[in-house]
Amino acid sequence: MVQIPRTPTSADVARLAGVSRATVSYVLNKAGAVRISEATRRRVHEAAEELGYVPHAAARSLRAGHSRTVLMPAPAFPAGPLYGQFLSDLQGALGRLDYTVVQHGTAGPHGDTAARAWAELRPVAVLVPAPGLGPEGVRVLKRAGARAVVTLGPEAVEGAHALLMDHAAVGHHAARHLYERGRRRIGVVVPEEPGLALFSAPRLDGARRALAGTDATVTALPLAYEEPAAARLAARWSGLGLDAVFAYNDEYAMLLSRALQDEGVRIPEDTAVIGADDLMLGRLLRPRLSTVHIELPAGRELAALVDRAVRDPAAPPERHRVLGARVVHRESS
Amino acid sequence: MVQIPRTPTSADVARLAGVSRATVSYVLNKAGAVRISEATRRRVHEAAEELGYVPHAAARSLRAGHSRTVLMPAPAFPAGPLYGQFLSDLQGALGRLDYTVVQHGTAGPHGDTAARAWAELRPVAVLVPAPGLGPEGVRVLKRAGARAVVTLGPEAVEGAHALLMDHAAVGHHAARHLYERGRRRIGVVVPEEPGLALFSAPRLDGARRALAGTDATVTALPLAYEEPAAARLAARWSGLGLDAVFAYNDEYAMLLSRALQDEGVRIPEDTAVIGADDLMLGRLLRPRLSTVHIELPAGRELAALVDRAVRDPAAPPERHRVLGARVVHRESS
């Protein structure tokens, strides 16, 4: 049986460095208010290094009454490259402000039950991709010491700061573009994958509202991200009588375009196609794919908002519209 | 100024429920060994609910001496769809075993300095995508109470369990396939993006070793994931005299194939192309893209390994080869 070494404590460090435990705590937790000589600091660091001691974040947060942990529940939908990059930028920016970003796993409970699980970690701030948090969840988190709760999604939640991402604008821009290109019978792809309704429903709705009162029609086209599903949709394409399609995003646009081309449908002559997200792959398709470019907030700005909210937990909730959308017109529409 | 409510404590819950603090702790922390009547349990839960009390994970882990937290540092490379799905499955599987998975942000220190930052969170287990941990880092984590340290990568680290992902096998399979298709002058794309050398170097090496002693040559082709870079490489393609290319993965294969086709290079007649990852987009290309299908371990199995290691921290490190690779031959090679 292998001997597992005992975890060194701050008392061990204090003994080796010849200082008090309080001094160890001040030095290693970087408590700025206390003046400690450079020589003492060095002795403490050397003793900690030698013993392999690291401070206990949980103990520190119990003492301080709060942590530097920013909790981000993992999104319940498959994060594409665009959103993945956004999350990664944000984590980097928060890290540079000395926050520890932890992502809570996807599995398990949702909604306000999830909020209780997050609250157990006593984060100083919580950044929640919508949906998955109601006003009660916000209250649970704040009672557990979260100084800032920030939601990212289509709607604000009472008591939380809101970064409003208006996906209706994406559908609006796509539909207006197709209309202006002379199309009147417009299909809108609605992915069947769970979790994506959060984005697809407002995109469809935005397309509908953009064309309300015009002579154009909007047809919802449920579609799974699978070749056979796309082939089935393409096989009944002529019967649908559509002359354009907003394909939800670039990946669905690639899937559906290929199936349409395999059926002999010419793009854009017979059917104009537009995607969204402005991924590299759209530029590599032939014809080159038109798309809605989506602008997400810079990680740096969002990290600054979190930091501001942590410093002033009593400030009234902020609301920011953070999603920009514009059409990039290429050859497919 | 808005009044911030005081965080309720377990003492508040005990008072409202008319029980001791110990009973509150037993009930809410699900300490199985203690027998408590159903009526008392219900009273405690109701009181906690009414007050909005949630247990403090940090306090609980201080008492227990360890947590149920599995820490996964975010990978330092852009996680593609394949790896993203793997991580998400794994998080789900650990969640079902009642672990809380937290991902530590990407930014900040690397290597053994990073290990100290992770150790502050006192995780019961750490799952580290390679590189970024040496034997000293493993010791730091174990001294801080981590019962299991598991690395995912090409090489084992002393003291840690290793899930060995042999990317040389990916290059080996790709190169052997091209050779068997009669190709002799084989290019291997090496992405210029930081962080990817971890995968690209063994893939190139695997291709080289697969063809050592044959009449074939292997040429490394540095390439950034950008259209102009691909166009520049394609413009000097005929001068390179290659008849085949292993394009690192499907996304690079799409980028390079398009640039080659725009230059009038015929695929596969002039140049055979094979990618890796077996993504949907390869099936949608014309000609359909040959690829190396990569099999990653099931989240369930990996979660079981973590759980086993947590239960028996003194067991000798396990080594498992977990990456399977096989060629999917389509039209591009």
Query: Would you give the end-to-end CA distance of chain A in angstroms?
Result: 69
Contact A104 B100 (CB under 8 A): yes
Architecture of domain A168-295: 3-Layer(aba) Sandwich (3.40)
Q: d(Cα B203, Cα B221) in Å, to the nearest integer? A: 12
The strand ranges marked E within A124-176 are: 125-129, 148-153, 161-164
Helical spans, DSSP H, in B126-249: 135-143, 168-180, 197-211, 227-235, 237-240
Q: d(Cα B254, Cα B289) in Å, to the nearest integer? A: 8
State the fold for domain A69-165+297-322.
Answer: Rossmann fold (3.40.50)
Sequence spans of domains, chain A: 10-55, 69-165+297-322, 168-295
When pLDDT is averaged across residues A202-209 and rounded to a whole number, the result is: 97
Q: d(Cα B20, Cα B327) in Å, to the nearest integer? A: 64
Structure tokens at A318: 């902020």
Is the model's pLDDT at A326 over the cut of 90?
yes
Q: Which of the following CATH numbers is that of domain B10-55: 3.40.50.720, 1.10.645.10, 1.10.260.40, 1.10.10.10?
A: 1.10.260.40
A55 CB within 8 Å of a chain B CB = yes
When pLDDT is averaged across residues B145-150 and rounded to a whole number, the result is: 91
For residue A95, give the nearest of B67, B93, B105 by CB distance: B105
What superfamily would CATH give domain B69-165+297-323?
A: Response regulator (3.40.50.2300)
pLDDT, position B73: 79
Residue pLDDT, tens place only, B281-332: 999 999 999 999 998 888 888 899 999 999 998 899 999 888 889 999 999 9
Is the model's pLDDT at B13 over the cut of 50?
yes
pLDDT, position A105: 62
User: B322: closest CA among B132, B194, B161, B210?
Assistant: B161
Is the model's pLDDT at B38 over the cut of 90?
no
Residue pLDDT, tens place only, B198-224: 889 999 999 999 999 999 999 999 999
Which residue did the predictor score with more confidence, B83 or B135?
B135
Is the model's pLDDT at B24 over the cut of 70?
yes
- Taking one residue from A and the other from B, the number of pairs with CB-CB distance under 8 angstroms is 170
**Chain A residues lying within 8 Å of B101, measured CB to CB:** 104-105
Q: d(Cα A308, Cα A187) in Å, to the nearest integer? A: 43
Q: A119: distance to nearest CA of chain B, Å?
A: 7
Find the helix packing angle between B111-119 and B135-143, rounded to 10°. 10
Structure tokens at B285: 């290309």
B4 CB within 8 Å of a chain A CB = yes
Domain B10-55 and domain B69-165+297-323, same fold? Reply is no
Q: Which is it for the CA torsion B105, B106, B109, B111, positive or negative?
A: positive
Is the model's pLDDT at A4 over the cut of 50?
no
Residue pLDDT, tens place only, A276-315: 999 999 999 999 999 999 988 888 888 999 999 999 988 9
Q: Answer whether B107's CB lies under 8 Å from A95's CB.
A: yes
Q: A83: distance to nearest CA of chain B, Å?
A: 12
